[in-house]
Amino acid sequence: MSLLTASSASFVPSRFLKNQLFVIALGGSFTAIILVVWPRTWSWLLSANFLPHAYCYLRNPALVWTHVIADSLIAISYFAISVTLGYLGYKGRWDIPYHWMFLAFGLFILGCGGTHLVEGVTVWVPVYVLAAAVKLFTAAVSLTTAAVLPFTVPHVFDLIRQAKATEQRTAELRASEERKDGLLQEVHHRVKNNLAVICSLFYLESIHSTQEETAEIFRDMQNRVHSMAMVHESLYGAENLARIDFAEYARNLAEDILASHGSAVRLKTELEPVTMGADLAVPCGLILNELVSNAFKHGFPEGTEGEIKLTLRGDAGGRYTLCVQDSGIGIPDGLDFQTNQSLGLKLVRLLTQQIHGSFELVRSDPGTAAHLHFEVHQNAC
C-alpha cells in the first residue's frame, strides 16, 4: 500500500475564490491607471486643507509621540510580515497548498500597516483624503479576505485529515519495518550460528583425522564455511541489514586466516570502503578466502617470512579490483589458471562467473598477484 497523499487538484481554489482574486487584481490595476492618467489625483489625495490632530490628542506632546511611535512600529511590523508572507507564497507556490492565501493575507496586513503609517503622518501633515483612500483599500482587502477564508476551511480540514492518515500510515510502516529488521537480524543470527556449528564439526574432523591430506581438506572446508559465517555475522551487527562493509569484512577475514595458519607472514591492507549485498559479499568472500589461503600454503613454505598485501580499489563507475599479492616463491612455471583442476581454482572460476567478473593470476616480482575484477551496484540490496 502506498502512503496517502493529497491530490494536487484539492489545492486549486474554487471558481468563486479565483473570481475574488481577479477582482482584487482588477481593482488594483484600475487604481494604478487612474493615478498614472490623472496625476492631479496625487495632489488631491495629499491636500492638507484641514486641521491636524493636535486637538484630538489633547495637545499633549507625550501623548502625541506615544501614538506616533506606536503607529510607526506597528506599520513597520506589518510591512515586514506582509513581505515575509509574500515571499513565502511566491517561493512555495508549487509546494505549499493554498499559497495564494499567503499573498492575500500579506496584502491585508500591508493595508493595515499603511493605515497605521498614515495615522502617524496625519499628526503633522493632515492628508485626510489619502488616509481615507488607504482605509478604503484596507477595508476592501479585509472584506475580500474575510469572504474568501470560509471557503478554504473545508479544504484545510481535508488536509489535516490527510496529514493524520499519512502520519498513522507512516507509523504503521515504521513498526512493520522494525519487525522486519528484527526478523532479518534473527535470520542472520541463526544462519551464523548454524555455520559456526558446521565449522566446529569440520575442525573436530580435522584434528581427529589420521591422514594429513584429509585433515587439510577439512581445514579448507572450515575456512570456506567460516568466510560465509562472517558475512552473516557482519550483517547481524550492521545498521543496514541488507548491505555489508566489504572492506572491514575482507580485513577481518584475512586476519583470521593469518591467525589460523600461525605463520610469520605479515598482512598489509589498502582497502577502499564499499558496501555490497550478501549475494555479492558471500562469493567475493569465498574467492578471497581461496586466494589468501593459497598464498599462505603455496607462496611461503614452512617457516618462510614474507608479506601478503590485500588491496581493494574502485572507480566512479562502480568497478572494483580486489588484489591479493604475496612476496612468496611465486606460481610454478606452466601453471594455467583456466585449465587447472584443483578444487580451489575451480571454485574461484565458478564464483567469478557467478558475480559476472573476471580473474587473472600473474607472476610478480617477487611472488604472485591475483586480481579479481567485479562490479558493485550501489542501489542493489
Are 29 and 111 members of one domain? yes
What does the pLDDT read at residue 12? 44
Question: Which helix (H) or strand (E) element contains residue 326?
Answer: strand 319-326
What does the pLDDT read at residue 334? 67
Are 269 and 133 members of one domain? no
Decide if 233 is inside a domain.
no
Are 48 and 157 members of one domain? yes
What does the pLDDT read at residue 218? 79
Domain region containing 138? 8-173
Are 153 and 297 members of one domain? no
For 36, phi then psi, to 5°, come to -80, -40
Are 14 and 163 members of one domain? yes
Decide if 264 is inside a domain.
yes
CA distance 45 to 128: 8
- Domain end position, chosen among 173, 206, 221: 173
Decide if 228 is inside a domain.
no
- Domain end position, chosen among 173, 195, 226: 173
- Domain end position, chosen among 173, 203, 230: 173
> In the chain, how many domains are there?
2
Decide if 192 is inside a domain.
no
Are 167 and 276 members of one domain? no
What does the pLDDT read at residue 3? 36
Decide if 343 is inside a domain.
yes
- Cβ(276)–Cβ(376) below 8 Å: yes
Chain Cα centroid distance, residue 362: 42
Decide if 263 is inside a domain.
yes
pTM to 2 decimal places: 0.51
Between the alpha carbon of residue 23 and those of residues 151, 186, 211, 318, the distances in Å are 17, 66, 100, 59
Are 18 and 149 members of one domain? yes
Between the alpha carbon of residue 86 and those of residues 12, 72, 112, 113, 369, the distances in Å are 18, 21, 15, 14, 67
Decide if 275 is inside a domain.
yes
Are 169 and 247 members of one domain? no
Closest-CA residue to 276 (of 375, 181, 177): 375
Q: What is the DSSP letter of 114?
A: H
Decide if 332 is inside a domain.
yes
CATH number at residue 302: 3.30.565.10
Question: pLDDT means per 10 residues in the chain (381 residues)?
Answer: 39 49 65 67 52 59 75 85 79 73 80 85 76 86 81 79 87 80 70 78 79 78 76 65 80 81 79 86 85 80 80 88 85 69 81 89 82 80 47
What does the pLDDT read at residue 344? 77
Q: Give the SS3 label for residue 291.
A: helix
Are 43 and 151 members of one domain? yes
Are 251 and 124 members of one domain? no
Question: Which helix (H) or strand (E) element contains residue 12?
Answer: none
- Cβ(286)–Cβ(228) below 8 Å: yes
Question: Which helix (H) or strand (E) element contains residue 290?
Answer: helix 278-299
